Amino acid sequence: MGIINKKEREIPPTHPGEMLSEDFMPDYGLTASSLAGALNVLRQTVNELLRQRRSVSTSMALRLSKLFGNTPEFWLNAQCAVDLCNMKKQYKRELNQIHPLETV
């Protein structure tokens, strides 16, 4: 059995749009327009993702993984981490009222 980490993250996970703009696009010399063209999507779609106003969908994860040579799970896991962090903050009060069950 693995070690259970119950410590909360101090900093939020990085949004996939930030990963794209900070890590991937500069390395490949991409602009929002050229990325949109390479992915065969609208420039508005890419801009919303880069501005963190849009989540990575399964179809976008497939496109990004094909373009950059990684896996769709890489992109979906990054998005899932952001979504979970946001929901934990949003539902903190409700979640604190739920107590783990004990086995009989």
Domain boundaries, the chain: 16-96
Class of domain 16-96: mainly alpha
CA angle 43, 16, 83 (to 5 degrees): 115
CA angle 8, 18, 62 (to 5 degrees): 100
Give the per-residue pLDDT at 4. Answer: 75
Taking 70 as the threshold, does the pLDDT of residue 18 lie above it?
A: yes
Segment 74-91 shows an average pLDDT of 97
Taking 90 as the threshold, does the pLDDT of residue 5 lie above it?
A: no
Tokens of 26: 């500069």
Give the per-residue pLDDT at 6. Answer: 73
Q: What share of the chain has pLDDT > 90, as a percent?
A: 89
